[in-house]
Structures are given as structure tokens and as C-alpha cells.
Chains A and B, each alone.
Chain A
Amino acid sequence: MADRMLLAGAATGTALVLDEPLSMWGGLDPETGEIIDRRHPQSGVLATGRVLVMPSGRGSSSSSSVLAEAIRLGTAPVAVVLAEPDDIVLLGALVAEELYGITCPVVVAEPSTYSRLHTGLQVSITLTGIEIRS
């Protein structure tokens, strides 16, 4: 099995692995890039510039708009890595690419890759998949 590129692109950043799925609507402030869902374990953490890793999407379909808005404002993660496909995350990234030409790659990690991703590791997304650099 290989990593599945739902939206292909190149990105490098420090991994931010979420303990739970995040609904971006009500969970991510597009103005600041901060995780603002007070019930979320990573509440208060800045997602800007990180490779955001979470098991799946969650919650309202308005999350697509919030992700697209964060990408427009430059507060978004540089890439999103998931354990399973999620249309809502993908739509937000696809529309931002259509509108602004900014690519936030969306990748479904192969299970063994996913299990090796930890917060703080340097991660690169390439056209073929995920590389853990440190």
C-alpha cells in the first residue's frame, strides 16, 4: 500500500498530530490559525504552517469554507494528512486551489506511515507520498 494523494502537491513542515478529529467550523479560527474548539485536546495550538495530522474529518460541512478561508489568509496548515479520506477537508483545499492557486496537499497516509507520525517531526509531502525527515 502507498500513501494516497487526494490533492497532490509539495509541502514541508513540522507535524502537528491531533489526538481527535477536528471540525474546522467552530474549531479553527481562520483569522489566526488557532485551534479554538475548547473541547479539543489540542485547543489553543497554532495550526499555521504545520503538517496537520488527524485520523479523520469531523462535524459540520461548513468546515470546507473555513479551511478555504484559512488557506486564503495564509493561516492554514501547509498540508493535511488523514488516516481515511474526507470529502469536507478535500473540498476546502480543492476550492482554495481553484480560487487562489495555493495548494494545501491532502494525503491519506498508509497505516504504517500514519503510526510513525508524531508531533514535532519534520515531514515533507512530495508528489509520491509522505517522507518523515527527522
Chain B
Amino acid sequence: MFFQVLFRVLGSSDLWQATLQFAALLVLPALAGVISERSGVVNIAMEGMMLTGAYVGVMSALATNNVFVGVLGAMIAGGVMALIHAVVSINFHANQIVSGLAVNIAALGLTNYLLLVQTNGQGVPHLVNALRLPIVTWGPLANIPFLGPVLFQQNIIFYVAIVILIATQFILFRTNVGLRIRAVGEHPQAADTAGVNVRLVRYLCVIAGGFLSGLAGAFLAMGIAGIFNSNMTAGAGYIALAAVIFGKYNPLGAGGACLIFGLGEALSTRLQDTGISPNLLSTLPYILTIIALVGLVGRTIPPAADGIPYDPGSE
């Protein structure tokens, strides 16, 4: 019975459309993680940056009645949360995992509080269609059976995410900037003596990650859901972190991992009527996360100086 439903679901283009959508949602914070860790800063704050981005995105879109302002606001909000993590980790040499966690907790509390204040406890802010991030349909391409809706009828941010994914891979491995980023992450002292501004590189990478996570937040709230709900990211930022490790700190690898996690998420909502408890099903993506982290963290080698604050005077 279960397998019948499973195969039926796997054969539907609706599942794969949802898979790609979730994957796109995850890949943005995953890229944030990759960029940050490649420069040597452990970043688990994608969750908080996304959530803040989602909130600010919705609120600023409503306030100005402009969807672009919303997206911009979301990105800036993500950037600000990232800046906090950056200052604490890079300038004050704090434990980067603690710092990231702190950002996540703060984001949750902050958004919940502001939500309460804003709505006076009367429901959640809704976005009218005009203020939502639209789905882009590529004309006749969307009519191709099965692949059509999967590839050519996705939210605009999906396509943006693909472009960013390719750009990140290219920049990181084919440009001088990317070389410097990777050098800083492996051996910041060597990069420093070679004349690279280690601090600046790390700041820029973490903040760039903030922009990407904020954008993901906008995608979630303004594109997929159309509302802002308390804790609506529901751990997606942590799944993105697992994708970073699963993908061996490579943009393309992380993208692949996001596809797998996206599939898990999409399946969990579509296998409801197989008799398996829906609660159990909804744990699927998180179980995949744990398996990935437990199975691969030991074996995947992060950049050599990842997580170690850079102290120029030390030897």
C-alpha cells in the first residue's frame, strides 16, 4: 500500500516541482554557509537570518506597498544579522557556533515579539497577490508534459537561485577573489603575509551570506507562503547547514544535497494517506539531515582554518 502510493507520488510532476522549489529555498542559505565557511567562519546562523529576512520582507512590502522594497528589506535584514555574527566572531574572537546559535535564538524572539506588537495578536500579516513574488511561466515550455511544470513554472526566485548557484561556483573556483577566499579559509596567516586583507574577506563573505539568507527568507514568506508566521523557517536553515557539509563545502555539491533534502520535504507532505503518521513523515527531512551530519561530518574535511579566529600576533 505504501509503495503503491510512493510510486504514484514519485511519478507526479507535482512532487518534483515542489522538490525543486524546496531545493531552491534551501540552496540560498546553503550557499551562504559555503561562502562563509570557505573563508573560515563557521556559520550556523542561516536560520536566524532567513527568519529575520522573512519578517522584514513581509513587513516592509506591506509598509511601502512595494514588492521590491520587500525583497531588498529582507536582504538587508539578513545582512544585519550576519553583521552581528561577523563582528562577534571576527573582531571579538567568540566561539562561532555559540555566536551563530545566539543569532538564531535572537531572531526567533525578535520576530515573535515584533509580530505580536505589530498585529496585536490578531492573526498574521497577509500579502496580497500584488505584493507576492510571482511564479514565472516560460510560455510554451511550461506545457511540456512532466518536465514543463517542474522546470519552467517556478517562482522567480528559483531562477535567481540557479544563477546565484552557478555564479558562486564560478567565483569561488575560477576567480582571483575566490582564490583569496579559499586561501583565507585554509591558512589565514599565509594569506595575510601575502597581502590579503583577511578580516575584510571574512566580513564580506559572512555578510554576503546574510544577503542570500535574507533573500531566502523573502522567498519563503513572500513567494511560497504569502504570510509571515512565527518560526516559519522551521529549521530550514539547519537543513541548509547539513547540505553544506553533505556537499563538501562546494556550491554545486551543496546544490545537489539541497535537491535530496528538498525531495525529503516534498515527499513528507505527499505521503500523508499511506497510513504512516503524518508527524513521523514530517520528520523525514530532519532525519535525512541528521544522517548526513553524523555520517559525513567526520569524513568531510572543512577548510583548515574554519572556525578558528585569526590572531595576527600568534604563531
A, B co-complexed: no
Binding site for A on B (CB under 8 A): none
